[in-house]
A and B are shown apart, each in its own frame.
Chain A
Amino acid sequence: MSVEERLPEPSNPLGMDGIEFIEYATSQPQAFGALLASMGFAPVARHRSREVMLYRQGTMNLIVNSHEAGTATPQLSAIALRVRDAGYAHRRSLDLGAWDMPTRAAEMELLIPGIHGVGDSLIYFVDRYRDFSIYDVDFLPLAGADPRPPALAGLHWFGVVQAILPDRTADWLDFYQTLFGFSVLPQGKYFGVLPKGTLLESPCRKFYLQLIEPPPGAEEVRWNEELVRVGLGAPDVPRAVAALRARGIVFVDRGPVQPSDKGALTQPYLGGVTFELVVSHLAP
């Protein structure tokens, strides 16, 4: 599926250029590490002073933070955005009414500025990602590890799914449009196998956010505002599903959520973490 009709060029006030890393917090980094390995991620470096690990797969950086992590079930705790000037992005966000990141949450030795996102999550701004890597300073490479492990079946970041409370779509649209320049895709333009909610395209057109209100009739379901899962793009979903199944990953295979050419959803692991595959034209 591709977005055939390009809307007029949206503004990109921060010079956004994709996702630098996704961070999870968990008090069980070994169990989560094993799951990530099954998903094709390889550990490549360890933080110099804290219980933080860097995993990588192709273009994707994934940080597992166990420093003072409260819950065993891995929680999506941060999105780091590549921007032109991190200091500017941070100041502009605060001027527009974003909440500054608490200093104690700054897990990096390098000063990576950030703001509060949904729930307890943070949004970091990273501007050093071309000729210099933030990981070179904060992390020690694992001996013998390939620093550039290839992606399994061309997997790459496709997007992040965020749960929101009823009637909150407009509020969060204001948030993402005003602070970052995200634009809303027309209703009906869906990707993957979970067609619901509202899709926002990043101003750099390199990833998506999906906002989902609770479905009708779900009044009894516990529904918090939080980041719920990442979407991994795959040029060929059945091939990616086969490769992941061979590594032991189990996909939901019932009702409308079945692996297809469009996408697939893993079963919940470790008490609730899932990964979604989405057919993707986004070049890794």
Chain B
Amino acid sequence: MNLDRFGMDTVTLAGSLEAKLAAMRAAGFSQVMLNSTDLVGHPGGEAAAITAVRASGLRVTGFQVLRDFEGLDGHLHAYKVEVAKAMLQMCRALGARVLLACSSSSAHATGDPERLVADLRKLAMLAVPHDIRIAYEALSWGRHVNDFVQACELVEQADRANLGVALDSFHFIASGTGLEALDALNPEKLFLVQLSDFLWQEARSPTDRIETARHYRVFPGEGVHSEQVATLVRRVDAMGYRGDYSFEVFNDDYRSLPPTMVAERARRSAGWVSGLVSRRTLPARRRRG
């Protein structure tokens, strides 16, 4: 597998946006998954952040994260539409072609599938003129959608060209999703694969999963589910996925270490993952940036 298919998430590293981008580049990465706080929290403002990203030469894997979009009514829905539009505009400015949208954990959201499908379609429509794809991800603590299979079903029902799913190995493994969940998925509907492992065997309750997901993830090859991560990567590759992999690793310790050191760990992990599958697979066709 080609190392150009791996990117790091800015959320993994400490320091300024510029320091994070430099560390990723120095470690040999060619792409980066950005977080909205990278832009809005930049001391020089959004424009300076966008300049830094473009100057880094790193391709933008995607932009995260739109939360709690689907299933809301009235003013809450209108409010979230405005948030989504602002995020799409940031994506556009950054040259990010994928916006990650997580399944809602809001107590105000309905679980009515018809409504969820309508909202996902609306989000996809908002993204069309900006040439952005929506990658819908089931959070393992999502209120109504908390399993990869559910996310796939909603995306299939919504049936929009620029709407697909994101697979996060943490949620997949933590929620005990079986690999057969991938059987029915059209590989072209898989828009992003986020890889991480974590430090203990189980995270049973939603509270455990939130705590683990936000503080104790590690790079693939460093945790206790290496075999499961490896199997998942092989399966995704075998089904024909040729898109990007990003390391979605939230870890308080990593944010206490020099970013160059953490990026080097990520680089080793990318080597471990790429060694899992045949090197004969070709990179996906890329649009010129």
Contacts and interface: CB of A to CB of B under 8 A. Distances in A.
Interface of A: 95-99, 116-118, 165-168, 170-175, 178-179, 219, 225
Contacts of B288: 219
Contacts, number: 45
B281 to A, nearest CB: 20
Contacts of B126: 97, 99
B92 to A, nearest CB: 12
B131 A175 contact: no
A97 B161 contact: no
The A contact surface, by secondary structure, is loop
Contacts of B122: 95-97
B121 A96 contact: yes
A257 to B, nearest CB: 26
A178 B125 contact: yes
Nearest to A170: B161
B204 interface: no
B128 A174 contact: yes
B129 A99 contact: yes
A193 B162 CA distance: 31
B7 to A, nearest CB: 20
Contacts of B160: 174
30 contacts: A95-B122, A96-B121, A96-B122, A97-B121, A97-B122, A97-B123, A97-B124, A97-B125, A97-B126, A99-B85, A99-B129, A117-B129, A165-B287, A166-B287, A167-B287, A168-B131, A170-B162, A171-B128, A171-B131, A171-B161, A174-B124, A174-B128, A174-B160, A174-B161, A174-B162, A175-B125, A175-B128, A179-B125, A219-B288, A225-B131
- Closest A-B pairs by Cβ, 5 of them: A97-B125, A170-B161, A97-B122, A97-B126, A175-B128
A224 to B, nearest CB: 11
Contacts of A225: 131
A175 B129 contact: yes
The B contact surface, by secondary structure, is helix
- Interface range, B side: 10 to 19
Nearest to A100: B85
B121 A178 contact: yes
A180 B65 CA distance: 30
Interface string B114-140: 000000011111101101000000000
B161 A118 contact: no
B121 A171 contact: no
Contacts of A178: 121, 125
B125 A96 contact: yes
A170 B128 CA distance: 10
A96 B126 CA distance: 8
Contacts of A173: 161
Interface string B158-169: 001110000000
B129 A174 contact: no
Nearest to B122: A97
A135 to B, nearest CB: 29
A156 B287 CA distance: 37
Nearest to B287: A166
B283 to A, nearest CB: 15
Nearest to B120: A97
A168 B85 CA distance: 20
A31 to B, nearest CB: 30
B25 to A, nearest CB: 25
Contacts of A98: 125
Nearest to B163: A174
Nearest to A96: B125
B81 to A, nearest CB: 8
Contacts of B123: 97
A118 B131 CA distance: 10
B238 to A, nearest CB: 23
B287 A174 contact: no
Nearest to A223: B288
A63 to B, nearest CB: 22
